[in-house]
Amino acid sequence: MSDTATLLAPAPDTLAAAPAGRSFDVDSLLTYQVNGPTDFLFQIHALQGMDQQVLSESLVITPPLPVHVYADPTVNHRFARVHAEAGIYEFRYTARVLRTPEPVDLAAPEVAIADLPDEVLHNLMPTRYCESDHLSHAAQRIFANLPRGYARVAGICDWIHANIEYKIGTSTATTTARDVFVQRAGVCRDFAHLGITFCRALNIPARLVVGYARFDEPPPDFHAVFEAYLGGRWVLFDATRMSPLDELIRIATGRDAKDVAFATIFGPAMMTSMSPLVQPVS
């Protein structure tokens, strides 16, 4: 298990080929056993904007319940508020989404702190799950000598992929990036948190992205990746390498997992099944 990383810098003018716009169908089914009055706050609607466009969508609750959907203007996420009494409920969100990802600049530089936009600065700070202050020494030791910019963030992903085992059941809702660094195992959320933490420790703004993704294995689930701010824009990275990034249907972005939970529950309810699926339109 290596604690150093090496990477060859790409040619300065190299651009990864950008796929043409593609449409995807989302079909997400969540089932809950509710044992008393409960309020749900869902983030399951596909994000409208950035590199994707929601062409059509619906949210159907069985048995029917009133639902209030609102958009948070500060983050452009959509939330669904639902109140339920005791019973078994299915929440089915479907959508058709057009993805038009931009080409990736493999030579994108890191941006000096003095040149960062105001709204990006908070993505440099330690947060509950991303303790970049505690892992600063490790980040400097492992990654300081890599070429700066896209190559260094790619090197972070290479190191995480090589040194952290993807293993379901090794982390909990309270597991942090520092925990993952020590135990060397986790799931997609943990891989993303560690990538964010290393980036911030190197003064590269980074944030968590969650969405719908296609997997060969494990069973269908929401997927977490991260973005680093390079060359004046946000660039996606996935240290798990489990799903194509140009097929990710965004739901939300945030400083860490506390900002982007797909369901926050206030009351005696338990999820009994989940199946957040996405498929390309043939």
Q: What backbone phi and psi angles, to 5 degrees, belong to 152?
A: -70, -40
The pLDDT of 96-108, averaged and rounded, is 94
pTM equals 0.90
Average pLDDT, the chain: 92
pLDDT at residue number 11: 37
Tens-place pLDDT, residues 205-218? 999 999 999 988 76
The pLDDT of 253-260, averaged and rounded, is 95
Q: Quickly state the pLDDT bin for 17 (edges 50, 70, 90).
A: very low
CATH fold, domain 22-100+264-280, is Immunoglobulin-like (2.60.40)
Q: Is 50 left (phi over 0), alpha (psi -120 to 50) or beta?
A: left
Q: What count of other Cβ atoms lies within 10 Å of the Cβ of residue 277?
A: 15
Write down the domain spans for the chain. 22-100+264-280, 113-258
Instruction: Answer yes or no: is pLDDT of 15 > 60.
Output: no
Q: Quickly state the pLDDT bin for 225 (edges 50, 70, 90).
A: very high
pLDDT at residue number 217: 74
Q: Is 87 left (phi over 0), alpha (psi -120 to 50) or beta?
A: left
The pLDDT of 144-165, averaged and rounded, is 97
The pLDDT of 174-198, averaged and rounded, is 97
Cα separation, 6 vs 154, whole angstroms: 10
pLDDT at residue number 218: 66
Question: Is 50 exposed, middle or buried (CB count within 10 Å of its CB: 0-12, 13-18, 19+)?
Answer: middle
Q: What is the CATH number of domain 113-258?
A: 3.10.620.30
DSSP string, 137-193: HHHHHHHTTSPSSHHHHHHHHHHHHHHSEE-TTS--TT--HHHHHHH-EE-HHHHHH
